[in-house]
Chains A and B, each alone.
Chain A
């Protein structure tokens, strides 16, 4: 559906996005995850053709399209984190997209269907004013306004960030139905790990505007001090020290690649090679991924939260549980610099 070729985007001279190559398959669900300010919303706006990247190309169905052109206006829709409901009734909000398309045939039935999809019944909600809705209801109305259009691409920017659990589940179910019913391509930016790993075909990790496929790295900003053997040292809040080789020119962000980390129980790292370093951490979350063979493991180390994908057998063998202390082994030479 999308092919991204070397896009860069700047706000006020500051680079906020830099993505080399990436693609999103039709009818897939792609998860976007990353800390606040990592560029998720910007990427979604670019994918929604609401903003043009400063440089680079983004192809939609293999073709370069102009933002806001008729070619994409009616095919791609974005639900922002804090969607705006117009100062009119729920019905008029949901029907707005249909009206501007002059696609008003059987409108009442379609609006009823879209509202039902997000768990709102027409009789109670259609006539309500925008101001008479709770946060969760407003978010669901905003989603219904997109679903009624049956878009080819549905972009969701943290749709469950500020709603209650019940609304969040309804939003998730309604979004998934869009793919089931008409094969919509979904791109979802969220902090809801469970949703991401339960439903997404691909998870893209964004950090400082850069894309990491296959695992969320743990970013470490300075200050770095020069330590022994020409290695750099970064002290964490709990006093532990992370060691890394010197970065190349113009690189300042160190990232611990989770696929290169090893988890062991304290004191069991006796086979450790000489250049391998240890960090002590506490498991904060264990979560079985959709595949059933891997467990997502979040470990708190000082102020860092490192998330790894561990084989289920290994988690069972180490008898890991939230709250358990573990050692994380890493090679300073494998810390990447960006």
Chain B
């Protein structure tokens, strides 16, 4: 059981000694998840609004599909993205395999259903009087949409928190699409997988704790944002 205690000590040592490999993995993790979250929020919030606000044919079916995608296994996404981005694949020319943007694409597919589903739920739960109120105050359709989204901002922040947690901690996509290349596409989770396979449990736990610290920082920031808005 000593490796757990060692892990804690090593975690702080890695951070305090500014270990280059650890900081490279932190950087790769943050860049990939940052790109993925930006893209999924930009796409997912409007799509979630459309799904939650409007009634249209096939709405229920689309909702079921989105909810099913919440359970997408990361290795499956990794496999599909790998097949698409590999040199012989349909998007092979883009040269995104074993790159941070490649990982970000996979992570975006992972987080997008979470943003869409939770935004749609938040919009569906909004008081129907809001729409009438806004229209009767003179708002056009675009202003109704923007104000409605602002009204459900706490729900959207919750969606962002959930999706960020999932993206930060996934390993399947980063491993398959990123290739776990040191100094390049090695993220914290792929580094943990590697260290554990080498029998370096202490190092694995240390990296896991680093990841938890990052998640804690992100969540504290978002909690601060929630209080301010």
Contacts and interface: CB of A to CB of B under 8 A. Distances in A.
A146 interface: yes
Interface string B194-227: 0000000000000000000000000000000000
A87 B151 CA distance: 6
B112 to A, nearest CB: 26
Interface residues of B, number: 16
Contact of B138 (A45, A73, A80, A82): A73
Nearest to A67: B135
Interface stretch (B97-105, B139-147, B165-173): B139-147
Interface residues of A, number: 25
A286 interface: no
Contact of A50 (B136, B147, B150): B136
B129 interface: yes
B130 interface: yes
Contacts of A149: 137-138
Contacts of A45: 132
B143 A100 contact: yes
A86 interface: yes
B133 interface: yes
A68 interface: yes
A145 B137 contact: yes
B127 interface: yes
A77 B138 contact: yes
Contacts of A100: 137-140, 143
Contacts of B138: 73-74, 77, 97, 100-101, 149
A146 B127 contact: no
Contact of B136 (A78, A82, A86, A101): A78
Given A96-B137, A100-B138, A146-B137, A86 B132 contact: no
Contact of A78 (B132, B143, B150, B151): B132
A73 B137 CA distance: 8
Interface string A23-48: 00000000000000000000001001
Q: Which 4 A-B pairs have the closest CB atoms?
A: A78-B136, A97-B137, A84-B129, A84-B133
Interface of B: 127, 129-130, 132-133, 135-141, 143, 147, 150-151
